[in-house]
C-alpha cells in the first residue's frame, strides 16, 4: 500500500522512475528490440545471444551519452558483457567519407590486431560492435604520415597507440573508408584538450564585441570612412565573423558531419582568409603611400576597388577551390581538405593544414614583413632628406607626419597579428599540445581588445566621437 502511495506521489510531483535499470553502462549497450526471442527467454540479435541477465526493458536513452530523456519502452542489451566491444564511428552500414555515408556493399573492419597481423573484425566472432562517436571531438590517427600514430587493437578491445598508449573502448572509434584497405582510428581529445577547446571559444567570443565596436565607430563617423578606415572595417569584419563561427563550431553548436557543420567550416576558412588578405592590403597600402610620395597617385575610390577585388577575391577563390576539391575527383583524396569529415573544419592533417592554411599565411606574413621593412627604411630616408625643407612647408610636414603615424599604427597591428600567427605556425609545426599553443590562444583571445585600443582609444578618435555626438544632439 505504501509503495503505491509513494509511486503516486512520484507521478504527482513529476518524478519518473525507469521501468528497470541496465546491469551495465548505457554506453556499453545496444538496442535489441528487433532481435529474435528464443523459447528460453534469451534474445538473439545480430548473431549475439543475450540471456536474461544481460538485457532489460527500459524507457530512457541518452543524447550524446550525456542528456537523459524518456522514450517509449524498448529492450536494450549489454553487448560488452557478452562480446569484446569495438566502437564504430558511424552506423552499421556506413563508412566515413564526407561524414558518415551509407553503403550497400560489405564494409570490412580491417585493422592491425598485432604488429604484424591484420584481420577483419567482422569475421571474428568474439567481437561485437557499438555505433556512434563516444565523444563530441575526435582526431584521426595518421600512421602513414606519423610513426607515433601507429595503432592496433588489443585483445580486450582497447586501442594501442605506438605500442605504449592504451585507449579504452569508449575513448575511440573505428571507421571503414571507401578508398582505404585499413579502417581509420579516431581518438577522443584528452581532458586537457577538452578544457582548451572549451575555454578558447569563450575567449574569442569575448573579443568579438571589441571588434564590432571598432567596426561601428569607423562606420558611423564620416571622417573615418576613408580608404584606410574602410580597409580596417573589412579586416575587423572578417575577424568578427571568423571568431564567432569558430567559437560556435568549438562549442559543438553544429551537429558533427551535418550540412550546417560543413558550411560553418567553409565560413570560418573564408572569414580568416579575408582578415589575412586585408591585413596584407593595409601593409601594401602604407608601403605604396611612401613609395609614391613624389609620384602620381590613384584616386582613393579606384584604389579601394582594386584592393577589394584582391582582398575579397583571393579568399573567394581559395574557398571555392576547397569546395571543388571536396566535391569532385579533381584531386586525389589525400590532397582534399575534407571539411566536415572528422570535424567541421578541414581534417587534422599536416599536409592539408599546410596547403590550405599555413602556406597562404606564411606567404602573406612574409610579404607584410617586406613591405614594413622597406617602408621603415623609406621613412628614415625621407626624414633625413627633408628635415630642413619641412620647416618651411607645414602642409607637407603635416602630411608626412600623418602618414608616419598611420605606418606606426599598422606596424603595431602587424606585430600583434604577426606574433600571434607566428606562434600559431610554430605550435602547429612542433606539437599542438606544446605550451606555445596556449600562448597563441591567449593572444588570439585578446586581439579584439588590442585592435580596439590601437584604433579607437586614441585622442583623435575620441574627439571625432564627441564631435559626432555633439552634431547629433544639435
* The predicted structure's pLDDT at residue 2: 42
pLDDT, residue 448, reads 86
Half-sphere exposure of 192 (CA within 13 A, CB side): 6
Nearest to 282 by CA among 326, 342, 239: 239
- The CA-based angle 71-77-80, given to 5 degrees, is 130
Residue 20 confidence (pLDDT): 60
Architecture of domain 86-188: Beta Complex (2.170)
288/143 Cα distance (integer angstroms):
48
Residue with cell 630616408: 381
Class of domain 193-389+399-472: mainly alpha
Who contacts 450 (Cβ-Cβ below 8 Å, separation ≥6)? 416
Q: Are strands 84-88 and 127-131 parallel, antiparallel or unpaired?
A: parallel
Burial of 194 (0-12, 13-18, 19+ CB in 10 A): middle
Residue 5's pLDDT is: 44
- Residues of the chain below pLDDT 50: 1-18, 293-296, 390
**CATH 2.30.160.11, domain 21-81, yes or no:** yes
d(CA 281, CA 364): 10
d(CA 270, CA 315): 6
CB 148 within 8 A of CB 194: no
CB 378 within 8 A of CB 372: no
Non-local CB neighbours of 157 within 8 Å, separated by 6+ positions: 80, 84, 85, 86, 127, 169
End-to-end CA distance of the chain: 80
Q: CA 114, CA 92: separation in Å to the nearest integer?
A: 25
> Distance of alpha carbon 435 from its chain centroid, rounded?
19
The whole-number pLDDT of residue 9 equals 41
- Measured CA to CA, the distance from residue 42 to residue 55 in angstroms comes to 9
**Cα distance between residue 320 and residue 360, in whole Å:** 15
Residue 280 · residue 368 · CB < 8 Å: yes
DSSP β-ladder status, 138-140 and 127-131: unpaired
CA 268, chain centre distance (Å): 8
Beta carbons of 173 and 157 less than 8 angstroms apart:
no
Model pLDDT, residue 227: 84
d(CA 189, CA 197): 9
Q: CA dist 281 to 15, 58, 270, Å?
A: 62, 62, 16
Q: Sketch the domain layout of the chain as residue ranges.
A: 21-81, 86-188, 193-389+399-472
Residues 322-376 have pLDDT tens digits of 999 998 888 887 788 988 877 788 877 778 888 999 899 889 888 888 888 887 7
Place of cell 526471442: 37
Amino acid at each position: 500500500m505504501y509503495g503505491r502511495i509513494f509511486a503516486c506521489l512520484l507521478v504527482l510531483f513529476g518524478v519518473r522512475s525507469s521501468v528497470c535499470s541496465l546491469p551495465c553502462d548505457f554506453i556499453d549497450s545496444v538496442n535489441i528490440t528487433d532481435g529474435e526471442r528464443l523459447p528460453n527467454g534469451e534474445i538473439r540479435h545480430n548473431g549475439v545471444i543475450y540471456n536474461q541477465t544481460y538485457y532489460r526493458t527500459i524507457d530512457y536513452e541518452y543524447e550524446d551519452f550525456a542528456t537523459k530523456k524518456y522514450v517509449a519502452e524498448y529492450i536494450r542489451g549489454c553487448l560488452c558483457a557478452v562480446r569484446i566491444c569495438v566502437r564504430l564511428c558511424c552506423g552499421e552500414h556506413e563508412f566515413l567519407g564526407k561524414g558518415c555515408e551509407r553503403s550497400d556493399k560489405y564494409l570490412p573492419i580491417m585493422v592491425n590486431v598485432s604488429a604484424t597481423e591484420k584481420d577483419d573484425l567482422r569475421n571474428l566472432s568474439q567481437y561485437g560492435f557499438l555505433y556512434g562517436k563516444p565523444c563530441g571531438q575526435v582526431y584521426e590517427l595518421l600512421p602513414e604520415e606519423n610513426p607515433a600514430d601507429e595503432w592496433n587493437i588489443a585483445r580486450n578491445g582497447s586501442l594501442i597507440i605506438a605500442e605504449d598508449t592504451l585507449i579504452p573502448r569508449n575513448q575511440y572509434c573505428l571507421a571503414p573508408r571507401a578508398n582505404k584497405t585499413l579502417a581509420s582510428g579516431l581518438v577522443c581529445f584528452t581532458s586537457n584538450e577538452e578544457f582548451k577547446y572549451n575555454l578558447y571559444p569563450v575567449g574569442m567570443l569575448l573579443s568579438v564585441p571589441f571588434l564590432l565596436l571598432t567596426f561601428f565607430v569607423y562606420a558611423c563617423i564620416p571622417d573615418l570612412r576613408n580608404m584606410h578606415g574602410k580597409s580596417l572595417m573589412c579586416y575587423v569584419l572578417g575577424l568578427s565573423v571568423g571568431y564567432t563561427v569558430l567559437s560556435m563550431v568549438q562549442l559543438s553548436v553544429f551537429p558533427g558531419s551535418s550540412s550546417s557543420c560543413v558550411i560553418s567550416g567553409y565560413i570560418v576558412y573564408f572569414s580568416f582568409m579575408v582578415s589575412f588578405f586585408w591585413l596584407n592590403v593595409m601593409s601594401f597600402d602604407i608601403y605604396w603611400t611612401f613609395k609614391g610620395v613624389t609620384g602620381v597617385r590613384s584616386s582613393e575610390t579606384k584604389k579601394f576597388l582594386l584592393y577589394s577585388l584582391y582582398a575579397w577575391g583571393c579568399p573567394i577563390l581559395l574557398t571555392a577551390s576547397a569546395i571543388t576539391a571536396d566535391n569532385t575527383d579533381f584531386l586525389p583524396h589525400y590532397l582534399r581538405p575534407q571539411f566536415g569529415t572528422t570535424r567541421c573544419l578541414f581534417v587534422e592533417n599536416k599536409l592539408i593544414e599546410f596547403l590550405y592554411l599555413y602556406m597562404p599565411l606564411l606567404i602573406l606574413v612574409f610579404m607584410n614583413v617586406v613591405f614594413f621593412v622597406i617602408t621603415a627604411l623609406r621613412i628614415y630616408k625621407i626624414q633625413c632628406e627633408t628635415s630642413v625643407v619641412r620647416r618651411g612647408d607645414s602642409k607637407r610636414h603635416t602630411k608626412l607626419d600623418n602618414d608616419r603615424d598611420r605606418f606606426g599604427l599598422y606596424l603595431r597591428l602587424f606585430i600583434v597579428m604577426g606574433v600571434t600567427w607566428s606562434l600559431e605556425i610554430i605550435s602547429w609545426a612542433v606539437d599542438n599540445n606544446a605550451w606555445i599553443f596556449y600562448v597563441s590562444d591567449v593572444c588570439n583571445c585578446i586581439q579584439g581588445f588590442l585592435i580596439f585600443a590601437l584604433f579607437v582609444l586614441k585622442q583623435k578618435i575620441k574627439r571625432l566621437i564627441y564631435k559626432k555626438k555633439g552634431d547629433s544632439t544639435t
